[in-house]
Amino acid sequence: MNTEIFLKWLKEKLLPSLHEPSVIVLDNASYHSEILNKQPTNSWTVDKIKEWLTNKNITFPQYCFKPQLLTLAKSHAQPNIYMVDEIIHSFGHRVLRLPPYHCQFNPIEYIWGICKTYFDNHIGYKGYSEEAVLETWQEALDTATPEIWEKKCKKM
């Protein structure tokens, strides 16, 4: 998965299919997290930091070292604006971002585990042809019923 593929799916498939305002829960995968309002980091050059400060109308001494410029920039930092969030908001929906490294709050992790366990326990029963493997994987996906999803979501 990459940002381009995810955005295409989001704009062409998911968002048009949601008819009521919804809350979309996202983890911190890189393809969910492209930042529109990038802020200076240690990897930025002095000139790039100065350009950022100038664009924000933040005054700074002409002759200043990088650490001082970064400190000044950090004191004017604003919350990140994510490309995906802006697209979702434009369709009238809300975004809930999970905290980093807290996959236990994401029901897809449990559902994925159920499907993979089924697949691991049943692979090979019908052979290893492409058709047999795909059929077993489809059966694994079918184990994630709406009832199981609901149960896992209620536990969150």
Note if the pTM is more than 0.75.
no
- More confident site: 108 or 84: 84
CA distance 89 to 4: 18
pLDDT at 156 over 80: no
CA distance 141 to 144: 6
| Confidence band, pLDDT 50/70/90 cuts, at residue 101 | confident
The closest of 115, 93, 113 to 103, measured between CA atoms, is 113
What is the average pLDDT value for the chain, to the nearest integer?
93
The domains of the chain are located at: 1-35+82-102, 38-77, 106-156
pLDDT at 62 over 90: no
Radius of gyration of the chain (CA): 22
What is the structure's pLDDT at 19?
Answer: 87
